Amino acid sequence: MPDITVNATSIAPAGARTVRCPTCGGASVYSPANTFRPFCSERCKNLDLGAWASEAYRVEVKPEASPDEGAAPEK
């Protein structure tokens, strides 16, 4: 949504540092004024957290190497 970029720049103080929003790639104000930093908006923050949660879920469900394999180097 293009309005996200407009929203981010509108809350930016003069000379504020902007970063790229990890979710939408738009401009995000990196300052205490932006409580969602490094995201540009609450929507992008929630989207990213949701993606992260589902990703973590997938990793946890997936069976990996057994934990006791090479876990004890010394007695």
Question: Residue 28 pairs with which residues in a beta bridge?
Answer: 19
**Alpha-carbon separation of residue 19 from 7, 10, 45, 72, 73 (angstroms):** 14, 15, 14, 44, 44
Site string for Zn ion, 26-55 (x = CB under 5 A): x-------------x---x-----------
How many residues bind Zn ion (CB under 5 A)? The answer is 6
5 binds Zn ion (CB under 5 A): no
Q: Taking CA 37 as the corner, what is the angle to CA 21 and CA 33, rounded to the nearest 5 degrees? A: 125
- Segment near Zn ion (CB under 5 A), from 10-18, 24-32, 49-57, 63-71? 24-32
Q: Which residues bind Zn ion (CB under 5 A)?
A: 21, 23-24, 26, 40, 44
